[in-house]
Amino acid sequence: MADPTRLRAHEMAALLRSGEISSRALTEAHLSAAERQNHALNAWLVIYRENALAQADAADKRIAEARRAGTAALNALHPLCGIPIALKDLVSVKGGQATAGSKILKGYIAPFDSTVAARLKDAGAVILGKTNMDEFAMGSSTEHSAYGPTANPWDLTRVPGGSSGGSAAAVASFHTPLAIGTDTGGSIRQPASMCGVVGIKPTYGRVSRYGIVAFASSLDQIGPFARDARDAATLLHAVAGRDDRDATSAPEPVPTELLGLATSDDEAAAYLKGKRIALPKEYFVEGMEPGVAARIREAVGAMEQAGARVEEVSLPHTDYGLATYYIIAPAEASSNLARFDGVRYGYNDRSSGEFIADYIKTRGAGFGPEVKRRIMLGTYALSAGYYDAYYLKAQKVRTLIKADFDAVWAAGFDAICAPTSPTVAFSLGARTEDPVAMYLSDACTLPINMAGLPGMSIPAGLSDGLPVGLQIIGAPWSELSMLRLARAYEGITARAPWRDLEPAELQLTDDPTTPSPIERKERQKSGASAPGAGGHS
């Protein structure tokens, strides 16, 4: 058998059921790749080798018992049984760390499973470990992690996007076929775009947030990373659904058809016929790289040639999305992060013996600069005299943004297509000193969170040798049709040359002398050259 890490999750599932491969062998192959290459990527904060192999053995036993019981029992197993998966390090797994990329949660061990983790365990998935992320999911490059930045396997001098950059890089590097991330303003879709994988932000309320370290509670949503639409749909099916422990979790039924996306490319492509696709002119923002705009228009043009109807529309309040988000999200963050004080868990500084002084020192040293910046912004926006001027006004604009999307659905469109990111992956360190430039990375993704809509990013080719993501946006609860559209695009581009390409610098990660992302960033600051640096910098 060829390298099993190159298989899609649905291909792995078929081999597991036929007995041609074991979950232990699959897990071992992925663990070995992750352990060997992580020094150059820093995609993983912790790898649970022993636990993962124990879960793999349990999955093998479960599959063997089902095989003995007959076809019906085998078919009753969830397709994720025995499949490796990675979790962003803000997902609680009993007995494991959940740092949220922050020093203030270093040493914290979760005493319970999040709903997402519990559902994955019930399905028989194998949890390999936890992936790197921007601290408390605040960032667009995974450079704000307290544990160092993550590198992009397409070019090791560049970022993987963020805040779920570790999960995206791990999937792109074939360390895992599937991963979980969170998306508050684009933190699944933007890194999926920059790493050339599939990433889904479901409708707000589709997936329970119980046991997930919160950033902004009215915006956060958990979602999957995968290498194609079928695998992403399978992972979404496993984790979605009502949860009584999360008051914002919706009772909306999870479509069983998520497990039945078209297997044939021709069958998948046929879904495009007659579909109305909206192309919002405001999403081709000023400063968008020409290569990105070209790939998106080519992708939409290919859909049109396959039978879709594409029409330009206007979402007039899009320009207010960035400002509105950076009032609402920090305001909610300032409230959510008040609980991290060093009294009950995580990092603490008790050097003075005075409670207030130690509280201030703990939060001062435990939080990084980006988190402090957003706490300050949010506290200011909620303070007396400014609540009405900022926070209340932002919530009113949020309603207008949602109304723009509602008008598109009322006009009979099936989906909206747009760029995911206005640029390809940028260089490590390029935007860390300019927060506004960093915030603009999410200009095309933020409005979807403001409106609570489902959205996803799928690979749409390359620009200057780096991945470009096509964003598909759907009406509320339309994940199934959104995924069918994504699968259709995969069908019509199945023979495109870029489909067969692997990340250009992945082979460098096997060399133990390749610098780590922390070393690269330091060398860039000092102006020194980095051995093995990519050709895109």
State pLDDT tens for residues 41-64: 999 999 999 999 999 999 999 999
Quote the pLDDT of residue 146: 97
Interacting residues of 125 by C-beta distance below 8 A, sequence separation 6+: 55, 59, 80, 81, 82, 83, 84, 85, 178, 238
pLDDT classification of 262: cutoffs 50, 70, 90: very high
Which structural domain, as residue segments, surrounds residue 464?
8-256+268-320+399-510
User: Per the residue annotation, which of 88, 130, 275, 521 is the catalytic one?
Assistant: 88
488 domain-assigned: yes
74 domain-assigned: yes
524 domain-assigned: no
CA pair distance 264, 233, nearest whole angstrom: 16
Residue 344 has pLDDT above 90, yes or no: no
409 domain-assigned: yes
CA pair distance 7, 2, nearest whole angstrom: 9
CA pair distance 156, 160, nearest whole angstrom: 9
Please, what is the Cα angle at 455 between 454 and 456, to 5 degrees?
135
20 domain-assigned: yes
129 domain-assigned: yes
Task: Give pLDDT tens digits for 473-496.
Answer: 999 999 999 999 999 999 999 999
181 domain-assigned: yes
Q: What is the pTM (predicted TM-score) of this model?
A: 0.96
Quote the pLDDT of residue 533: 46
* Tokens 């979807």 sit on residue: 448
Quote the pLDDT of residue 1: 66
Quote the pLDDT of residue 434: 86
**314 carries an active-site annotation:** no
Interacting residues of 111 by C-beta distance below 8 A, sequence separation 6+: 94
17 domain-assigned: yes
pLDDT classification of 345: cutoffs 50, 70, 90: confident
Task: Give pLDDT tens digits for 347-375.
Answer: 999 988 898 999 999 999 999 999 999 99
Q: How many domains does the chain have?
A: 1
pLDDT classification of 441: cutoffs 50, 70, 90: confident
Give residue 256's identity as a one-letter amino acid code. Answer: T
User: Per the residue annotation, which of 141, 164, 167, 187 is the catalytic one?
Assistant: 187
**281 carries an active-site annotation:** no
User: Per the residue annotation, which of 114, 140, 145, 163 is the catalytic one?
Assistant: 163
pLDDT classification of 534: cutoffs 50, 70, 90: very low
* Tokens 């039924």 sit on residue: 253
Provide the 8-state DSSP code for 207: B
**88 carries an active-site annotation:** yes
Task: Give pLDDT tens digits for 279-326.
Answer: 999 999 888 999 999 999 999 999 999 999 999 999 999 999 999 999
CATH code of residue 69:
3.90.1300.10
